[in-house]
């Protein structure tokens, strides 16, 4: 039994005073009188849950804008053009002098049933964790460009940081900083993780990095490094 029905029963059927009911059920006196008035007017319907939605929403998107968004969606789709939220927002701003956020446009389209959810679009690879199954199964090498700062706070020299990570544990095997990295220099320095750890991974993971114009380290350097690691 709902609290509203208990309160009405206590006051109307059991003939208890409003003050006594308020003290027992821990409710506001004004709510009891409001409930009684509603019960006398509506009867049993007074016990049904009421919507808590506000009667007015001053910040709600105007109905004219909603209709315009849906009209643009229909028009662009029929013309075979992109009819996404970004495109609709561009047309609203440039052709109708109306600025609406991308999220608002998407909500309008979703409420109107103009957007069909298609979870099949998500690539299957996104469900898999990108990591080696065992420690030392695969090492990953990458570059990070970093500008040093002098003691006085002014910008210093640019350096390039080589990092070697175990692809399973994400443990940093070897990290070094250099003024400039080239393919041959990367290949020479890549033996340090092998010597410091004493391990030989079955495979390594690298990409075709582009550090700066005229300096590209990638497949060629990695191919030269593979015999050194016994792979």
pLDDT digits (tens, 9 = 90+) for 9-64: 888 888 899 999 899 888 999 988 988 888 888 887 777 777 777 777 778 899 99
Q: Where in the chain are the domains?
A: 3-47, 63-114, 138-229
pLDDT, tens digit, 9 for 90 and up, residues 153-184: 888 888 888 888 888 888 888 888 888 777 67
Count of other CB atoms within 10 angstroms of residue 193: 25
Task: Give tens-digit pLDDT for 65-88.
Answer: 999 999 999 999 999 889 999 999
Q: Is the pLDDT of residue 202 over 80?
A: no
CA distances from 105 to 76, 101, 147, 223 (A): 14, 6, 41, 50
**Closest by CA position to 69, among listed 98, 40, 27:** 98
Q: What's the pLDDT score for residue 153?
A: 85
**Separation between Cα atoms, residue 5 and residue 49, nearest integer Å:** 11
Q: What is the mean pLDDT of residues 224-231?
A: 44
35 φ/ψ angles, rounded to the nearest 5 degrees:
-65, -40
Provide mean pLDDT across the span 98-112: 93
103-112 average pLDDT score: 93
Measured between alpha carbons, how far is 206 from 142 in angstroms, rounded to an integer? 7
DSSP labels for 102-149? HHHHHHHHHHTT-----GGGS-GGGGS--S-SSTTSEEEEEEEEEEEE
Q: Are the CB atoms for 184 and 221 separated by under 8 Å?
A: yes
Domain range 138-229, CATH class: alpha beta
Tokens linked to 85:
């939220």
Q: What is the mean pLDDT of residues 80-109?
A: 93
pLDDT for 147 beyond 80: yes
């Amino acid at each position: 039994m709902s609290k509203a029905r208990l309160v009405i029963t206590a006051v109307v059927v059991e003939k208890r005073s409003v003050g006594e009911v308020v003290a027992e059920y821990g409710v506001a006196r004004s709510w009891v009188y409001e409930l009684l008035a509603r019960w006398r007017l509506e009867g049993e319907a007074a016990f049904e849950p009421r919507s808590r939605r506000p009667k007015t929403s001053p910040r709600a998107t105007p109905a004219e804008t909603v209709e315009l968004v849906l009209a643009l969606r229909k028009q662009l789709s029929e013309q075979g053009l992109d009819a996404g939220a970004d495109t609709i927002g561009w047309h609203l701003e440039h052709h109708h002098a109306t600025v609406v956020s991308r999220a608002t446009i998407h909500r309008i389209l979703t409420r109107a049933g103009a957007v069909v959810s298609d979870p099949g679009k998500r690539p299957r690879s996104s469900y898999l964790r990108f990591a080696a199954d065992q420690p030392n199964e695969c090492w990953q090498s990458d570059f990070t460009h970093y500008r040093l700062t002098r003691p006085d706070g002014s910008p210093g020299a640019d350096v390039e940081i080589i990092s070697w990570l175990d692809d399973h544990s994400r443990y940093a095997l070897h990290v070094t900083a250099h003024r400039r990295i080239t393919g041959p220099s990367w290949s020479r320095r890549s033996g340090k993780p092998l010597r410091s750890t004493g391990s030989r991974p079955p495979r390594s993971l690298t990409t075709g990095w582009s550090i700066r114009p005229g300096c590209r380290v990638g497949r060629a350097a990695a191919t030269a490094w593979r015999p050194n690691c016994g792979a």
